[in-house]
Amino acid sequence: MTLNIRYKLIIAFSALALGITLISFLAMLFSFRAGFLQYLNDIRHTSLENVKETLLDEVATDAQWHELVSDKRLWLEIIQKSRQNRPLFLPPALKKKDLHRHRYSEHENSDAINRPRLRHLRPPPYVLLNADKEFIYSPAGKTVSVNDLLLSDVAINERLHGYIGIVKLKDISNRADKFFVIKQTEYFIGIAVIACLFAVLVAFLVAGRMSAPIQKLVFAMNRLMLRDYNNHINYKANDEIGSLVQSFNQLSTSLDDHQQSQQRWIADISHELRTPLSTLKAELEAMQDGVREISMKRINSLHDDIIRLQKLVDDLHKLALSDSGALTYQFTSVSIPNLLQDVFEHHEIELESRGLSYELSYLPKLSNISVYADIDRLYQLFENLLQNSMRYTSRGGQILIRVDASATDTITIEWEDSSPGVSSDSLHHLFKRLYRAEKSRNREKGGSGLGLSICKAIVDAHSGSISAHNSSLGGLRITVLLPKSKVGNESIGEAK
């Protein structure tokens, strides 16, 4: 039989609580017995001091001491007299009806005790020793060691004459004392049972509270396996389970967004491919049917459509390689000024035909600005940005590129163009695949909508960042942050 986590927690918490209660009960019982035994020995020590005071009142000279040593009857009289003045010590658990069990009642008449009856008294538990701790009087029929005694010295005229003592208790033997200990043990057992029951109840409550979100999480994970990504758990707590639930909710949201993005992505690709293919098919069928005359102009137009379609497929292939990690990067030190100059010289004629001017500025001007990058991918990054600017900047416009290498670890590249601009709502969508800021733009002008997506993939692979903003020139400003070249690199890195 497999137990679920709730019952496992209940068993674990209950076992822990019962173990702690049992250990506490045994420790408390042991401590109580030891403390109570010490309490009884303290009572004995007090009675011993009482006998000592009585002895010093009766024996004030050396002669009286020698008389005491030689006459045991005097010793018994002193003990008896001390008992008449001794306070009555009774354990708290004894009731009034049990007082008659005590040998010496508080109502006992001291006048009823006289010397002729001393021979009938039980031998006293007190002992008398000389100055060398040798026994003078000891309890009859008992072998007592000095080490087992509580001792108090007897000094007469400031000179040590001997000791009086009483046997130290090592165990509880008195019936009244045992009765008291038994009653206290019963109380401890009752308290322990109540504590155990309370602990088990708390274990049920705590286990239920802890297992509830876990059970919800298991149910939600099963729904997730069935591709139900719009599934969140309502649980807020500042603990590990709360963090786990929060992570699950984030995962569910990410999977839901990814699923919707994937569906849009497939739909957009289908649309992007279907439209030019439909156009080609219609043109070719019209020529086959003789509706349109076959001419070099129409053939060139079809060829341009095929070129645009091929570029779309190539861009899709690059993005697919980037997503799968199969796009290879060969890192080396790349000079930013030289690479930008090559890109703009390659498109010099196209810029002139569109009536666009450009300006490159570097800070600091005389430094050799370089990054640790793949030169081919970086060239593609700058070419895509230039194609985007040429495609959307009005005739007679301007393109401004500023490269700032003043920071310690990064190089900032700001790519700006003049009007028309992009609405603020569209800025954060520009790097999405197949997104066009202007829905009315045709594909001939608007391109495939993948150029800036490829730029983002390249920048991410270089551990950099790319963002879009409105330009002070009236158009778009793209800001690229790239890490600088590492000084002293001996090898060329390769990343996939």
Which has more pLDDT, 170 or 116?
Answer: 170
pLDDT at 375 over 70: yes
Q: pLDDT class for 447, splitting at 50, 70, 90? A: low
At 382-400, the pLDDT tens digits run 888 888 888 888 888 899 9
On average, the pLDDT of the chain sits at 77
* CB 344, CB 351: distance < 8 Å: yes
Give the model's pLDDT for residue 113. Answer: 39
The answer to whether residue 419 scores a pLDDT higher than 50 is yes
pLDDT(290) > 70: yes
User: What mean pLDDT do residues 161-179 have?
Assistant: 84
Query: What pLDDT score does 117 carry?
Result: 42
Residue 59 has pLDDT above 60, yes or no: yes
* pLDDT for residue 400: 92
pLDDT digits (tens, 9 = 90+) for 194-224: 888 888 888 888 877 777 788 788 888 888 8
When pLDDT is cut at 50, 70 and 90, the band that residue 489 belongs to is: very low
Confidence of residue 104 (pLDDT cuts 50, 70, 90): very low
- pLDDT confidence tier of residue 114, bands split at 50, 70 and 90: very low
The per-residue pLDDT for 367 is 60
pLDDT digit string, tens, across residues 314-367: 767 776 766 656 567 788 888 888 888 888 888 888 888 888 888 888 877 656
**pLDDT value, residue 479:** 92
Ordered domains of the chain (ranges, CATH): 5-177 (no CATH), 240-324 (1.10.287.130), 329-495 (3.30.565.10)
Q: List, for residues 238-282, the tens digit of each pLDDT value.
A: 777 788 888 888 888 888 877 777 777 677 677 667 767 877 888
Higher pLDDT, 323 or 285: 285
